Structure 1
Amino acid sequence: MFRHLLLTSAIALAAPAFADTFTADADVDAVTIYPGLAAVTRQVTLNVPAGRHEIIVPGLPQGLSTQGLRVAAPQGAQIGAVNLAFDRLPVTPDMSAPEIVAARAEVERLEEVLRESAARIAEIRLRVAAVEEQITFLQSLAKAQGGEGFGSAADLAALARMLGAEVLSARQAAFAAEQEAQAADRARADDIEALRDAKQALAALATPDEAGAVLTFTLAVEVAGEITIDITTQEGFANWQPLYDMRLTTGDAPRLDVDRAVVISQASGQDWTDVQLTLSTARPGEQTGPSGVWPILRRIVPEDEIGRLMPLAEGLAVESRAFSDMAVEEFAAEPMTAQADFSGATVTYVYPSRVTIRDGVEDLRLPLDRLDFDADVWAEAVPSRDSIAYRMAAFTNASDELLLPGQALVYADGTMLGFSHLPLLAAGAETQMGFGPLDALRLTRTMPERMEGDRGVFTTTNELRERATLTVENLTGQNWDVLLRDAVPYSEQEDLDVEVNASPAATRQDVEGQRGVLEWDMTLPVGDTEVITLDYTLSWPEGYVLR
């Protein structure tokens, strides 16, 4: 049973009836991929006379939606009623189409070839049978002559030689004919297979597809000639994401080369062959306008009603908590993923050459271009967490376009280090990324020896004193600018006093608004060691416990 979806538009047509019905395939010409879906433009090219016609386009993907379906004709032509049906062609295809005529001619040609080859093989087999008859005759002749007897042994020997030669020649002729017949049989097998393929091709053209969508529309043209019609559909199961190879070169003038690529996946049900590809960050399936705002209604009630309303309010609160608990239990397994918000800005990439994207592909990678940036390189050390420092690089997006968030494979001086993630980076914005460990920049954080065998901790009823020693040792073959980060206790209570002394003094305190986080900037030559000492004292009144 057909599911008919009808799109109509007003059209002024002079003739009340169709002049012709045309069946034509639509070839994918251009694809724009958005996050989660694609706009696919197919083209139908026909040579039609002037007048009103019905155009049938079979073989479209199953499950197309009319919401994004658009049929566009060039100037001098108009599109009338558009009908999208599923499962079968609505009418018998045009059997006079050039491709059907050519397919039928090929079937007839191969059938004639097979008839001729069958006749040729039959003729060869007749030659083999004739030779066998000749051999039988010669053998019977030899028996008859042998029974009558010969006058001498010489005559008998001559007869035997003559008959042997004749039989040998006949058998050689029979063998050659049989080999020729077998070769003709093998060649005929290839022709039989070719005929089967040709019949299947003809059936595919002459028989409606059992699955897929079929588009039918009316077309009115003013002047006869060739016309190209664009059919645009919105199709799901397509996606793309950026991918980066980030190559850092250190030295006197550090550089960061960024090779950009995209990874594309599509499962639309059809191959996209030799298409113009456009990639867009627009999200047509999402909200297109701001959310609404509604006024807030507040009320007052007499104080003596509070007691009466309190049980009802408590009941509503219990019910609300129960619903909240249920919602948490029901949706806790749903993953929370970060979504980049472009605030309405759209980035579009037009791929420079045509590409082919097969149905079901999951990781087709296409290169885009290369960007080059100046970079600042340093070593970052966190002795409280790590035993070695890590190479860091900061760079500014000096291009004129937005860099989209995506996976990045990072290199440093030609060595692959692993995977990272490039955040969303606007034009002119700065970011920093890690570029692998520096195994020869060694870190330690120790608590010095303390009295009575403990490690550097002196406590009283209302006081705690600690000392930490941070060490950075440069065993690499080059000097390094090092940023060292550590943390000390801090307090938000007036009665809990925290006193911190660092030697040397920290370059920055409360880094990025994080209280108690300290940073030191240092330059560490080859073979040198830098030591930082942290002393901090916590004191509080009697009767309290430090947590």
Structure 2
Amino acid sequence: MTQDANAPPPFQVNTIELVSVESSKITGVSVYSGRAEVTRAYRFAVKTGQNQVKISGLPNVLDHDSLRVEGRGAATIHGVTIAPTPIPPTASTSPALQALLLKQSRLRKASTRSQKAAASLEAYLNTLNAEKIGVEQLGTVVAQYEVEGEKIDDRLIELEQQVKDVQTEIDVETARLRGSSNRNHELGQTATVGVFAEQEGEVEIVLIYAVYNASWSATYDIRVNMQAEEKPITLIYKAAISQSTGESWEDVPLTLETVTPTYGTELPILDPWRISIYKRPAPRPMMAMAVPAMAMRSVRAESAYASMPAGGPGAPPPPPMPVMQQMQLSVASQGNMSATYQVPGLISIPSDGQAHNVTIVQLELDAVMSWVSVPRVDTRVHLKAKIKNASEFTLLSGNASVYVDGSFISKSDVPAVSPQESFDCPLGLDSAVRITYHPLSKKAGQSGFYSKSSTRSYTQRVTVHNTKSTAIGSLTVVDHVPISEDSQITVKLLAPVLPDPGNKAVATAGGGSGKEKEKVRVSEGVVAQWDGADDEEADPAALGKEGKLNWVCKVPPQGKLNLMMQWEVTSPLNVVVLGL
């Protein structure tokens, strides 16, 4: 049997060293709310037998527990380990740097010689005696001095520039040497994969790992067309993606996951709730030495606290605390309770920590518009929309920019919304709807023969004016009457006639209670009700307990409505009623 010439000798391992960002391609990235899962493919040649593949340059923020390896080719994966990349010794010099330093030294010495030559020329000129030199020779001496001095000056300027140029080259080489040891300080992990190849050839392995410092959040543009009768809402669902993992995602297929990886989701255990009679501890014997009274009280208090169970009198001693568990995180896969969004095409997200926006989808949605005002506090009218998510997309909570008829109105928050679920979206103030809250009208009187009482009557009028050319389908005006906190004071609502709220704080002129007469038609297009009557989950017995009531109005174009609320407060004659 002949041995393959290309096979390594027995017990010898063929080592293959790869740099991750240079020897691979990202084939997919799945971004979660607080991390990302990266898939990288590597293709390389192996030799028959045992091969050890060292892949350096992986991110420091890589979750070691999430790393897994898949492969293709006539080989078997024997094991995977990951550890920090050994830091190579810092190079302090190089042949190029030494040559530059030598050149710099020679230039400085040449500059020193030129400076000495210039000084010698000046000294020679100072030694000349004008009395011994004729006038005809003086011009020649001065001209020769100018020529020689100019040569020396030109040489000095040239040498100074050469010294600067060499210093720049030295700085560049020094920076290169310093950067060679830490140029990828964010990519300091190395994965070692054992591959046993049945034959020499090319194989492919895929690393799949999770990294921190990557996330995406939902943002929205909500555009409202007040003139549209159907689907007045255009919702632009966008994703703000950011990452600072150390590796740049260049032209990668990107998937956005709405699921949040979790841990520690075991069902909690409900311990038995035990009660018992508290037994006072036996007093301790007095100490032999005198103790100040303040110190004695402190000792007794501490003793009682130490002997008292944590749950108060009658509670058993608390069980011992459980041992803390180490946090174990793993990348969660897509399930039936989450949504996955595939970003069309390829996208690049650099490792800069900045938000990069992509559009997920644009939705045309239906909404029910409503107007709300609390004129006792503020006569301005607020507009809101109840938007139904009639799409197959799950909306994550995020910020929204709201535009009404093309104008920016406000910033709002969109909650987490599942398909077919509705949410409220405030649309700002509608200045075309004007409300006048008239001054409160008061009347006082007395009644009773033996037991005198004081009765005060109040009338509050509210005027609603719709100045728009379109009708308002639902305007809610919120107001309230006082509620009594004393049995001697009676508050009775006279108008609108609403059912008795079932408590002694407010009485009504109408009969019935609960949901028997929740809504009362006051006039054409106006219905009165206790606040909360439209809430399907509200307790009928709780309606009106806070004295709040609503007028729900339909206001025609250019129309006006007059609303009136009357109530009376009865109390003993000589009693001062606070709050009126």
Q: Is this a same-fold pair by TM over 0.5?
A: yes
Alpha carbons 1:409, 1:419 under 8 Å: kept? yes
- 2:535 alignment partner, one of 506, 509, 512: 512
Report whether the alignment pairs 1:262 with 2:239. Answer: yes
Alpha carbons 2:442, 2:456 under 8 Å: kept? no
Correspondence for 1:354: 347
Residues 267 and 199 (structure 1), Cα distance of their counterparts in 2 relative to 1, 3 Å cut: closer
| SS in structure 1 of the partner of residue 73 of structure 2 | coil
Report whether the alignment pairs 1:183 with 2:161. Answer: yes
Residues 251 and 315 (structure 1), Cα distance of their counterparts in 2 relative to 1, 3 Å cut: same
Q: Which amino acid aligns with 2:139?
A: R
Q: Which amino acid aligns with 2:349?
A: T
Report whether the alignment pairs 1:23 with 2:12. Answer: no
Correspondence for 1:472: 464
Q: Report how far residue 183 of structure 1 moved.
A: 0.9
Q: Which amino acid aligns with 2:192?
A: T
Residues 125 and 313 (structure 1), Cα distance of their counterparts in 2 relative to 1, 3 Å cut: closer
Q: Which amino acid aligns with 2:383?
A: R
Correspondence for 2:216: 240
Report whether the alignment pairs 1:441 with 2:433. Answer: yes
In 2, distance between residues paired with 1:23 and 1:350?
34
In 2, distance between residues paired with 1:38 and 1:538?
65
Residues 43 and 185 (structure 1), Cα distance of their counterparts in 2 relative to 1, 3 Å cut: farther
Please show how residues 66-465 of structure 1 align to structure 2 within 5 Å.
Answer: 66-86=64-84, 89=86, 107-109=94-96, 111-112=98-99, 115=102, 135=121, 156-204=134-182, 212-222=188-198, 229-236=205-212, 238-253=214-229, 255-264=232-241, 270=246, 272-274=248-250, 276-286=253-263, 344-352=336-344, 353-358=346-351, 361=353, 365-373=357-365, 375-383=367-375, 386-444=378-436, 449-452=441-444
- 2:510 alignment partner, one of 499, 522, 534: 499
Alpha carbons 1:396, 1:431 under 8 Å: kept? yes
Q: Which amino acid aligns with 1:532?
A: L
Q: Report how far residue 471 of structure 1 moved.
A: 2.8
Correspondence for 2:557: 525
Alpha carbons 1:266, 1:358 under 8 Å: kept? yes
Q: Report how far residue 201 of structure 1 moved.
A: 3.9
Structure 1: runs of 5+ lacking an equivalent:
1-12, 94-99, 150-155, 298-310, 328-341, 540-547
In 2, distance between residues paired with 1:72 and 1:368?
30
Q: Which amino acid aligns with 1:452?
A: A
Q: Report how far residue 466 of structure 1 moved.
A: 7.3
Alpha-carbon RMSD: 5.1
Q: Report how far residue 529 of structure 1 moved.
A: 1.8
In 2, distance between residues paired with 1:123 and 1:512?
94
Correspondence for 2:288: none
In 1, distance between residues paired with 2:268 and 2:128?
115
Fraction of identical pairs, as percent = 19
TM-score, structure 2 normalization: 0.63
In 2, distance between residues paired with 1:419 and 1:219?
55
Structure 2: runs of 5+ lacking an equivalent:
1-6, 280-308, 319-333, 481-497, 512-519, 544-548, 571-580
In 1, distance between residues paired with 2:146 and 2:265?
94
In 1, distance between residues paired with 2:244 and 2:126?
77
1:62-112 Cα distance to aligned partner (Å, 9 max, x none): 5754431212333334322222334x629x89xxxxxx9xx99x9544544
Alpha carbons 1:128, 1:177 under 8 Å: kept? no
Alpha carbons 1:36, 1:237 under 8 Å: kept? yes
Residues 398 and 491 (structure 1), Cα distance of their counterparts in 2 relative to 1, 3 Å cut: closer
- 2:37 alignment partner, one of 23, 36, 39: 39
Q: Which amino acid aligns with 2:563?
A: I
In 2, distance between residues paired with 1:78 and 1:464?
93
In 2, distance between residues paired with 1:343 and 1:465?
63
| SS in structure 2 of the partner of residue 282 of structure 1 | coil
In 2, distance between residues paired with 1:114 and 1:431?
72
Q: Which amino acid aligns with 2:30?
A: T
TM-score, structure 1 normalization: 0.67
In 2, distance between residues paired with 1:453 and 1:441?
38
Residues 65 and 131 (structure 1), Cα distance of their counterparts in 2 relative to 1, 3 Å cut: closer
| SS in structure 2 of the partner of residue 425 of structure 1 | coil
Alpha carbons 2:443, 2:456 under 8 Å: kept? no
Q: Which amino acid aligns with 2:240?
A: V
